[in-house]
Amino acid sequence: MSTFFLFDAAMILEKSILVVVLFAITLTVAAYATFGERKIAAFIQDRVGPNRAGPFGLLQPLADGVKFFTKEDFMPNAAERWLYILAPGAFMFVACMTSAVIPWGTQLTLFGKPVDLQVTDLNIGLLYIMGFTSLGVYGIMIGGWASNNKYSLYGAIRASSQMISYELAMGLAIIAVVMLSGTLSLREMAEQQAGINWNIWYQPLGFLIFFTCALAECNRAPFDLAECETELIGGYHTEYSSMKLGFFLFAEYINMFIACAVIATVYFGGYNFPGLDPNWLGGLMGPVVMFAKTFFFIFVFMWIRWTLPRFRYDQLMRLGWKALIPLAILNMLLTGGGVLVFSN
């Protein structure tokens, strides 16, 4: 039928190890992102932040996890039982799936065998990420609806219309990058940005649009209208408790991690840095640089959250439809013109 399923045992083993390692890293980063967020919030508000569990409060994520697991798992009487249980799992699943196509480094040679630091190099990698981001909304919608609570439903509706609106501008911003690099594969895109030849120099406007949309897609402040506590109690997760709530909150940090990794790969050269030497040590430096870039953007996400006040919902919609989408189309036209002029 196709060459798609011609695996061999060594490859399955290699990819399985890569998947497990990536999962562990994703979950650890997400756990420590919650800690980092509280520390950064404390720094910005001139407080100390969590400092009781372990040295410098470093065991705080562990303590939070234990707390989530031991809390009473409450389910509202009128909830739609199966969908109520399904929603946090679906949200978490979709969040974890996107990391598969991100290249974390150049090819390494381990035990005399070339190993890609990427789970799979789909030739439609960027579209794969867009596809899974567009599915993220189901967890929120189903959870908000199945709770059978009007605040949950309001939160779910806000979240889904926000995500649909910002996905459009995000896709249009991505199209400009695809036109420039002529590929949808994230590995090829990273390879083209060798040294300091990053896409950000060609796509500054596209980057700003993509970054704003990424904030909105992750439901982060100033676009966190879906869980705006002054109006909606907790939004779509009002009725959730225990680890189900934990899944919703945790998946948000996974989404943020992946969004930042995508920003780093698409606009900031991924694992590339001037003087990258794809041999042994340089090859190991690739992932380090990649993670440094990703963490920097996570920091910017948090910085924005604790600096800017929340938008009003009509302002959010106006920004998405009347500012970002026209700007993204303009950016696309400019890029098309640029490609036409400079490629000939």
Partner 1 sequence: MSLSLAVFLILGLASVIFSLLMVFTKNPVHSVIFLILTFFSIAGQYVLLNAQFLAVVHIIVYAGAIMVLFLFVLMLLNLNSAAEPKQSARWKLGAAIAAGMLLVTLVGALKGGIQIAVPENTNPQVGLAQNLGRVLFTDFVVPFEIAGILFLAAMVGAVLLAKRDVKL
Q: Give the residues lining the site for partner 1 (CB under 8 A).
A: 1-5, 7, 80, 83, 122-124, 127-128, 130-131, 134-135, 137-138, 141-142, 145, 153, 156-157, 160-161, 164, 167, 184
Closest to partner 1 by CB, 2 vs 230, is 2
Of the two residues 120 and 307, which places its CB atom closer to partner 1 in the complex?
120
**Min. distance of Cβ 137 from partner 1 in angstroms?**
6
Closest alpha carbon to 75 in 153, 143, 136: 143
Q: How far apart are CA 233 and CA 229, in angstroms?
A: 4
Task: Tell me the closest approach of the beta carbon of residue 176 to partner 1, in angstroms.
Answer: 16
- Name the minimum Å distance from CB 78 to partner 1: 12
Contact criterion met (CB below 8 Å) for 190 and 267: no
Task: Report the C-alpha gap between 32 and 255 in whole angstroms.
Answer: 14
Q: Which is nearer to partner 1, 34 or 238 (CB)?
A: 238
CB of 142 to partner 1, least distance (A): 7
CB of 273 to partner 1, least distance (A): 29
DSSP assignment of 44-87 equals: HTT-----SSSGGGTTHHHHHHHHHHHS-----TTS-HHHHHHH
- State in Å, rounded, how far the first CA of the chain is from the last one: 40
- Closest listed residue to residue 305, CA positions, set 222, 209, 226, 225: 222
Q: How far is CA 131 from CA 94, 136, 266, in A?
A: 10, 9, 16
Q: Which is nearer to partner 1, 32 or 151 (CB)?
A: 151
Nearer to partner 1, 80 or 116 (CB): 80
DSSP 279: S
For partner 1, the closer of residues 75 and 122 by Cβ is: 122
CB-nearer residue toward partner 1: 41 or 83: 83
Q: Which helix (H) or strand (E) holds 236?
A: none
User: Which candidate, 221, 212, 235, 97, places its Cα nearest to that of 166?
Assistant: 212
Q: Least distance (Å) from partner 1 to the CB of residue 333?
A: 16
Q: Give min distance, CB of 41 to partner 1, in A.
A: 32
Residues with Cβ within 8 Å of 252's Cβ and at least 6 positions away in sequence, in order, are 218, 219, 220
Please tell me the distance from the alpha carbon of residue 10 to that of residue 114, in angstroms, as a whole number. Answer: 12
